[in-house]
Amino acid sequence: MAPQRRKRASTRAKTNPFRVKWKIVSTDVWEPASLDEFEPAHLTFESDGKGELAFIAITASVDHRLGTRDGSPIIEFTWAGDDDGSPISGRDWAQSGPRGLVGRIFIHDGDEAHFAAERFAKPECTS
């Protein structure tokens, strides 16, 4: 019997189409002005599978993975952080939408909401 060949693990990193800083612009639960209450609401995905999330009084670190849904790329992520002094965590997913990202936020033992986000504008040169 011939030995089975083992598949080599890919050392090539997946390209992350979501790897930028996103401005959370709307949800179906919270008003846009509330989202930016303490700092501009945002979601960031880094190349190392980490990132950050901030909206209303929530600031959190993110752990993300790339996947596909119905043949389209998606990003799924969990997060843990602080909500005005109290621990908070959740899970989310997002995919490309007409103007950026669309997805769903699930706060552990709390609210859930659809959200939309757009790429943050690149800083202007001031020279």
Encode pLDDT of 37-89 as tens digits: 999 999 999 989 999 999 999 999 999 999 999 889 999 999 999 999 999 99
**Which pLDDT score, from 0 to 100, does residue 7 have?**
46
Q: In whole numbers, what is the pLDDT of the chain averaged over residues?
A: 87
Are 42 and 24 contacting, i.e. CB atoms less than 8 angstroms apart? yes
Are 76 and 65 contacting, i.e. CB atoms less than 8 angstroms apart? yes
Asked if the model's pLDDT at residue 8 lies above 80, the reply is no
Going by the DSSP 8-state scheme, the letter that residue 1 receives in this structure is: -
Q: Which two tokens stand for residue 114?
A: 């659809």
Q: How far apart are CA 60 and CA 82, in angstroms?
A: 6
**Which pLDDT score, from 0 to 100, does residue 86 have?**
96
Q: Which two tokens stand for residue 125?
A: 């040169």
**Which pLDDT score, from 0 to 100, does residue 2 have?**
56
Q: How far apart are CA 94 and CA 101, in angstroms?
A: 6
Compute the Cα dihedral for 59, 63, 67, 73 and give only its sign: positive
The pairing of beta strand 112-119 with beta strand 21-27: antiparallel
Q: From 31, 73, 83, select the one nearest 53 (Cα to Cα).
A: 83
Q: Helices then strands (H, E): number in the chain?
A: 1, 8
**Which pLDDT score, from 0 to 100, does residue 21 have?**
95
Share of the chain above pLDDT 70, in %: 84
